[in-house]
C-alpha cells in the first residue's frame, strides 16, 4: 500500500481525497494547508500540517498531491522531488513556457521518481473512444477540430481569491485556469500544431490583469484546421464542446456525450462519460482513473501516466496564443 499526502485544501482537494479514499491500495497519511483554519476541511482523524516540508519529513509519504494555486505548482514539486518524494500535480503544469521547461528538466533530473500531471480529461470515456477512432484511422485522417468553453465567472470569483486574476500568480485567465483541458485535447487528438493566430481580450470590467475571452485559429502539421474559443463572460457555465471532422465522418462531444453526426445532421450516441455528482460536474469524473493509473505505475514502474513532458505543450500553446494576441500576428508553435 502506498501512502499519499495532500498539499493544499482548496476547491480541488476533495476530488483528490475522494479518489484516494476510493482506492484500497492508497492510504491518505496526512494533509497540509498554510491556513490553520483549513483543518476544519481535513478528513477526520488524518494528521494536519501547516508546513509541507515538516509533513514530508514526519509522515514520509510515497507521493504528495499538489492542490495549490498555480504559482506554487512547480516550486513545491521541485522541493518535494528534492526530498525524494513522488509527485502528482494539479493542472496547469506551470505559469509559462520557461517554467514548464524547468519542470521538464526536473523530471529528467529525477529518473528515480515519478511526477504525474492531472490532465484527467484524456481519460474520459468520450476522449478515449475518439482517440481510438483517430489512431485506427477508422474514418480516415482528422481534417478539422473545434474546442469551445463557454463558461461564466462572477467578479467575486476573483475577489475571493485575488491570485486568480494576476499574471504573477495565475499565469493567465480563462485559458490556463478554465480551458487548459480543452487546449490539451486539441493537440492530443489532432496532433502537433504548426502555427496559430489569436485574439485575446477582456470583455468583463473586473479590474483583473488576465484575459477572460480568447479566440484562436489553429493550423496543424497534418494539414488540419482548428478553432479554439474560451470565455468566462457567458451568462452561465454551459457544456464544453469538442467537434472533430475526419475524412469520412464527423463527431461532436457535448454534455459529456460523444455523438457521430450524419450528413443530414442526425446524431447517434457513441459513448457517454461517467459523471461526477454535484455542482462541480464540469471537473470530469476521471481524476480517480488517472490517480489509480499513476499509483499503479508507482507499483509496477510502467510509466503509464501523464508526464510533465506530455503536459508542457498546453503551456506552450497558451504562451503562443498570448503572444499572437499581443502582436496580432501568426505565431509558430
Phi then psi dihedrals of residue 199, to 5 deg: -120, 125
Whole-number Å distance between alpha carbons of 76 and 70: 11
Find residue 261's DSSP bridge partners.
250, 267
| Residue 112: predicted pLDDT | 97
Q: Tens digit of pLDDT per residue, the chain (333 long)?
A: 999 999 999 999 999 999 999 999 999 999 999 999 999 999 999 999 999 999 999 999 999 999 999 999 999 999 999 999 999 999 999 999 999 999 999 999 999 999 999 999 999 999 999 999 999 999 999 999 999 999 999 999 999 999 999 999 999 999 999 999 999 999 999 999 999 999 999 999 999 999 999 999 999 999 999 999 999 999 999 999 999 999 999 999 999 999 999 999 999 999 999 876 654 555 568 999 999 999 999 999 999 999 999 999 999 999 999 999 999 999 999
| Residue 283: predicted pLDDT | 52
Pairing mode, if any, of strands 193-201 and 213-220? antiparallel
| Residue 285: predicted pLDDT | 80
| Residue 264: predicted pLDDT | 94
Per the structure block, which three cell numbers stand in for 183? Answer: 487546449
Whole-number Å distance between alpha carbons of 127 and 185: 8
Of residues 231, 232, 273, 280, the one with CA closest to residue 256: 273
Per the structure block, which three cell numbers stand in for 69? Answer: 494555486
| Residue 279: predicted pLDDT | 44
Strand, helix or coil for residue 273: coil
| Residue 90: predicted pLDDT | 98
| Residue 6: predicted pLDDT | 98
Contact 274, 285 (CB under 8 A): yes
243: number of Cβ within 10 Å: 18
| Residue 275: predicted pLDDT | 78
Sign for the CA dihedral angle at 175, 307, 98, 82 comes to: positive
Q: Which domains does the chain have, with CATH numbers?
A: 2-120+290-307 (3.40.50.720), 122-274+311-332 (3.30.360.10)
Amino acid at each position: 500500500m502506498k501512502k499519499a499526502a495532500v498539499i493544499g485544501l482548496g476547491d480541488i482537494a476533495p476530488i483528490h481525497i475522494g479518489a484516494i479514499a476510493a482506492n484500497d491500495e492508497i492510504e491518505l497519511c496526512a494533509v497540509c494547508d498554510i491556513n490553520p483554519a483549513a483543518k476544519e476541511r481535513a478528513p477526520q482523524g488524518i494528521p494536519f500540517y501547516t508546513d509541507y516540508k515538516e509533513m514530508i519529513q514526519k509522515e514520509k509519504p510515497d507521493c504528495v498531491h499538489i492542490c495549490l494555486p498555480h504559482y506554487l505548482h512547480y516550486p513545491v514539486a521541485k522541493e518535494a522531488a528534492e526530498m525524494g518524494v513522488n509527485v502528482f500535480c494539479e493542472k496547469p503544469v506551470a505559469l509559462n513556457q520557461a517554467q514548464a521547461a524547468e519542470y521538464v528538466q526536473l523530471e529528467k533530473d529525477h529518473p528515480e521518481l515519478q511526477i504525474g500531471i492531472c490532465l484527467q480529461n484524456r481519460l474520459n470515456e468520450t476522449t478515449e473512444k475518439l482517440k481510438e477512432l483517430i489512431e485506427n484511422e477508422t474514418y480516415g485522417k482528422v481534417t478539422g477540430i473545434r474546442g469551445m468553453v463557454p463558461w461564466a465567472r462572477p467578479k467575486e470569483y476573483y475577489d475571493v481569491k485575488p491570485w486568480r486574476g494576476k499574471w504573477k500568480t495565475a499565469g493567465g485567465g480563462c485559458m490556463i485556469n478554465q480551458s487548459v483541458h480543452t487546449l490539451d485535447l486539441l493537440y492530443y487528438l489532432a496532433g502537433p500544431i504548426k502555427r496559430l493566430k489569436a485574439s485575446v481580450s477582456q470583455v468583463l470590467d473586473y479590474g483583473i490583469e488576465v484575459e477572460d475571452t480568447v479566440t484562436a485559429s489553429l493550423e496543424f502539421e497534418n494539414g488540419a484546421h482548428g478553432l479554439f474559443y474560451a470565455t468566462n463572460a457567458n451568462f452561465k457555465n454551459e457544456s464544453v464542446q469538442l467537434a472533430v471532422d475526419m475524412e469520412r465522418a464527423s463527431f461532436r462531444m457535448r454534455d459529456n456525450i460523444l455523438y457521430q453526426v450524419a450528413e443530414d445532421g442526425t446524431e447517434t450516441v457513441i459513448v457517454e462519460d461517467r459523471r461526477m455528482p454535484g455542482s462541480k460536474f464540469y471537473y470530469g469524473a476521471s481524476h480517480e482513473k488517472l490517480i489509480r493509473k499513476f499509483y499503479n505505475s508507482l507499483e509496477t514502474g510502467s510509466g503509464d501516466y501523464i508526464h510533465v513532458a506530455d503536459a508542457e505543450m498546453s503551456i506552450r500553446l497558451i504562451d503562443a496564443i498570448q503572444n499572437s494576441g499581443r502582436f496580432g500576428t501568426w505565431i509558430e508553435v
